[in-house]
């Protein structure tokens, strides 16, 4: 007898539909799994037999062949336990196949029949909807995560014996009826979060963070220890525009694929990732024998913060070039090639010199010019070219620490950011790959970044004097376009260019060195 149960396999952050075909035939009792299973999938037969036995069900002695179709896609993980067990029971006549039709099944079985959560439940629900299936049957702990997908019925299953009792009657357990709303999830997460008003002083750096948020620009902050660089970076995500549902869904699929949802049905706050400087290149951009997303993908639609930037290994920093340019990471292995999303804002922090006190009042810098040059040269020119804002963050004066000198709150700054982003959405309407000024290519820059004659003369003088690259010049124009948007100005004026040029300080330092 042949049974067929729908399931799915994760391919990066997306899921591909897999048909689990179970054939029972006469012969020596045994079970063979074919269709490119990994070791976890091959081991599932032991879990399935034990779970069926501990749920007080008997199987006739048959030879079982389980095929995972399509057979040219590698399958990994423990989510195939549940469809395996159901297919085996259908061939044994213990349950009917009719209730299984039109539903996707996934879940890990324990030896006593409990159904444990799996990775990628959100992606599985999206794949089921796209394939036209009626719904998904998932572990109870993973069902809420999948319930955010419209147009698909989500049925939670906590124990295998309870599910079998239902299926023996020709029915499925009741589906989830409550679906989480994006706004309620967002409000629950934002309560008690950090606020920009907590940052005292540093008006110039806060202005730079506002510009970065308004245009989606990458930024590097240069300043002595304790000047507030990390504090500013951690609060940047609180002034970014609120995530639309599609953005939240994209980000949640990445977190779901690596099992980091932590009981949340949806990621509603823009991610903030801050890996340690000892991270490997595979940890940063993703990798492994079966590639998994790295930090740049976990920061998708959010912020990737690299503190102590020169302390990162140079080859690790160099792998950031493609993600920053393309908004995606492509990882090739012998078995498969996968692409992960990585549309993010890079924010980095560094000291001006190895000791950290160059130019800091009240401290004496003990570094030689060659030490400073060697320290700054750990960051390559091509990578610096991809960073729009080079922000000097000086030491904070005591008078700036007074509570009376608190600046605007995150809510106020976010209103200004969203106003600028609305201008950009209208500007780039009809250009699907451009969502903000930082994503403009050369053609879009030429079309949308027209500068008045005074501003053009200023930019020409700066570029010729410092010897900036063409990419750095384009970055200045994109930042100037964002500053004009914050002012509500349709044209880029000389004052916008002047302020944008002021954010290339590290270029000037390296040129002088």
pLDDT at 43 over 60: yes
Radius of gyration over every alpha carbon of the chain, rounded to an integer in angstroms: 27
Average pLDDT in the chain: 88
Average pLDDT score over residue span 347-355: 92
Most confident residue range from 179-183, 208-212, 396-400, 503-507: 208-212
pLDDT value of position 509: 44
Which run of H or of E encompasses 323?
A: helix 321-326
pLDDT value of position 406: 64
Q: What is the CATH number of domain 2-168?
A: 3.30.230.10
Helices (H) and strands (E) counted in the chain, each on its own, are 22, 18
pLDDT at 246 over 70: yes
Q: Are the C-beta atoms of residues 361 and 395 closer than 8 Å to each other?
A: yes
From the list 413, 440, 423, the residue with the least C-alpha distance to 240 is: 413
pLDDT in tens, 20-31: 999 998 888 889
Q: What is the 3-state secondary structure (H, E, C) of 126-161?
A: HHHHHCCCCEEEEEHHHHHHHCCCCCCEEEEECEHH
pTM assigned to the model: 0.87
Which run of H or of E encompasses 103?
A: strand 103-105
pLDDT in tens, 312-339: 999 999 999 888 888 899 888 877 788 9
Q: Are the C-beta atoms of residues 313 and 271 closer than 8 Å to each other?
A: no
Average pLDDT score over residue span 68-85: 92
pLDDT value of position 504: 78
| Beta-strand relationship, 292-293 and 286-287 | antiparallel
Average pLDDT score over residue span 162-172: 90
Contacts of 80 (CB under 8 A, 6+ apart): 7, 18, 20, 37, 41, 44, 68, 106
pLDDT at 109 over 90: yes
pLDDT at 7 over 80: yes
Classify 22 as helix, strand or coil.
Answer: strand
pLDDT value of position 433: 81
- Residue 219, judged by CB atoms within 10 A of its CB (0-12, 13-18, 19+), counts as buried
Classify 121 as helix, strand or coil.
Answer: helix
pLDDT value of position 192: 52
Sign of CA dihedral 235, 193, 409, 437: positive
Distance CA 87, CA 20 (A): 8
Average pLDDT score over residue span 417-438: 92
DSSP letters of 417-453?
HHHHHHHHHHHTTT-TT--SGGG--HHHHHHH--B-H
pLDDT value of position 271: 93
Q: Are the C-beta atoms of residues 342 and 299 closer than 8 Å to each other?
A: yes
Contacts of 163 (CB under 8 A, 6+ apart): 115, 137, 157, 173
Sign of CA dihedral 369, 375, 381, 386: negative
Q: How far is CA 151 from its chain centroid? A: 24
Q: Are the C-beta atoms of residues 356 and 224 closer than 8 Å to each other?
A: yes
pLDDT value of position 288: 80
Q: How confident is the model at residue 403 (pLDDT cuts 50, 70, 90)?
A: low
| Beta-strand relationship, 103-105 and 135-139 | parallel
pLDDT value of position 505: 58
pLDDT value of position 510: 42
Which run of H or of E encompasses 370?
A: helix 369-376
Domains of the chain by residue range: 2-168, 432-513
pLDDT value of position 499: 93
pLDDT at 80 over 90: yes
Distance CA 469, CA 472 (A): 5
DSSP letters of 255-321?
HHHTT--TT-S---SPPEE---TT--HHHHHEETTTTEE-HHHHTTTSEEEESSGGGS-HHHHHTTH
Task: Report CA dihedral (206, 208, 211, 216) to the nearest 10 degrees.
Answer: -110
Peptide bond into 70 cis (omega under 30): yes
pLDDT value of position 511: 36
Higher pLDDT, 487 or 194: 487
Which run of H or of E encompasses 17?
A: strand 14-25
Average pLDDT score over residue span 74-79: 90
pLDDT at 10 over 80: yes
Q: Are the C-beta atoms of residues 506 and 392 closer than 8 Å to each other?
A: no
Average pLDDT score over residue span 497-507: 80
Distance in angstroms between the alpha carbons of the first and the last residue of the chain? 78
pLDDT in tens, 433-473: 888 999 998 899 999 998 999 999 998 888 888 777 788 88
pLDDT value of position 66: 95
Q: What is the 3-state secondary structure (H, E, C) of 204-219?
A: HHHHHHHHHHHHCCCE
Token pair in block for residue 371: 């030490």
Across 191-205, 258-272, 362-376, 472-486, least confident range? 191-205
Q: How far is CA 399 from its chain centroid? A: 39
pLDDT value of position 405: 62
The DSSP code for 356 is S
Total count of residues recorded for the chain: 513
pLDDT in tens, 177-226: 877 666 666 655 555 568 888 888 888 899 999 999 999 999 999 999 88
pLDDT at 482 over 50: yes
Distance CA 393, CA 205 (A): 6
Q: Are the C-beta atoms of residues 338 and 12 closer than 8 Å to each other?
A: yes
Residue 11 φ then ψ, to 5°? -125, 90
pLDDT value of position 476: 92
Q: How confident is the model at residue 508 (pLDDT cuts 50, 70, 90)?
A: very low
């Amino acid at each position: 007898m042949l049974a067929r149960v729908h399931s799915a396999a994760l391919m990066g952050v997306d899921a591909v539909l897999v048909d689990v075909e179970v054939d029972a035939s006469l012969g020596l009792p045994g079970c063979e799994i074919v269709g490119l299973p990994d070791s976890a999938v091959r081991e599932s037969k032991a879990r399935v037999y034990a779970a069926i036995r501990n749920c007080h069900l008997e199987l006739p002695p048959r030879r079982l062949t389980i095929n995972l179709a399509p057979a040219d896609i590698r399958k990994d993980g423990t989510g195939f336990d549940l469809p395996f067990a159901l297919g085996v029971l259908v061939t044994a006549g213990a349950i009917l196949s009719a209730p299984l039709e039109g539903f996707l099944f996934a879940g890990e079985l324990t030896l006593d029949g409990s159904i444990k959560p799996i990775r990628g439940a959100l992606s599985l629900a999206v794949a089921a909807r796209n394939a036209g299936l009626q719904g998904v049957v998932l572990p109870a702990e993973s069902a809420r995560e999948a319930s955010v997908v419209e147009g698909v019925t989500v049925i939670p299953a906590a124990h295998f014996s309870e599910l079998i009792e239902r299926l023996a009657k020709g029915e499925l357990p009741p589906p989830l009826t409550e679906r989480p709303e994006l706004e309620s999830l967002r409000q629950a997460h934002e309560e008690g979060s950090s606020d920009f008003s907590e940052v005292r002083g540093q008006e110039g750096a806060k202005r730079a963070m506002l510009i970065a948020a308004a245009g989606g620009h990458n930024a590097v902050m240069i300043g002595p220890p304790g000047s507030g660089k990390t504090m500013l970076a951690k609060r940047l995500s609180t002034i970014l525009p609120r995530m639309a549902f599609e953005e939240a869904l994209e980000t949640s699929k990445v977190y779901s694929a690596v099992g980091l949802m932590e009981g949340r049905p949806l990621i509603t706050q823009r991610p903030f990732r801050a890996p340690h400087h000892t991270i490997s290149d595979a940890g940063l951009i993703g990798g492994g024998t079966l590639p998994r997303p790295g930090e740049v993908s976990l920061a998708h639609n959010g912020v990737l913060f690299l503190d102590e930037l020169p302390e990162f290994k140079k080859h690790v920093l160099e792998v950031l070039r493609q993600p920053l340019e393309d908004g995606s990471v492509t990882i090739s292995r012998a078995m498969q090639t996968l692409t992960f999303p990585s549309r993010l804002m890079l924010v980095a922090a560094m000291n001006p010199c190895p000791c950290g006190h160059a130019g800091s009042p009240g401290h004496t810098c003990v570094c030689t010019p060659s030490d400073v040059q060697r320290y700054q040269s750990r960051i390559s020119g091509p990578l610096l070219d991809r960073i729009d804002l080079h922000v000097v963050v000086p030491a904070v004066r005591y008078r700036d620490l007074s509570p009376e000198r608190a600046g605007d709150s995150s809510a106020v700054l976010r209103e200004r950011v969203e106003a600028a982003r609305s201008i950009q959405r209208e500007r780039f309407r009809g250009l699907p790959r451009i969502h903000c000024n930082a994503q403009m290519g050369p053609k879009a820059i030429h079309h949308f970044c027209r500068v008045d004659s005074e501003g053009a003369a200023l930019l020409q003088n700066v570029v010729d004097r410092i010897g900036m690259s063409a990419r750095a010049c384009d970055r200045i124009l994109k930042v100037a376009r964002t500053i004009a948007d914050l002012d509500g100005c349709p044209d880029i004026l000389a004052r916008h260019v002047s302020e944008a040029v002021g954010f290339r300080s590290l270029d000037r330092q390296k040129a002088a060195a």
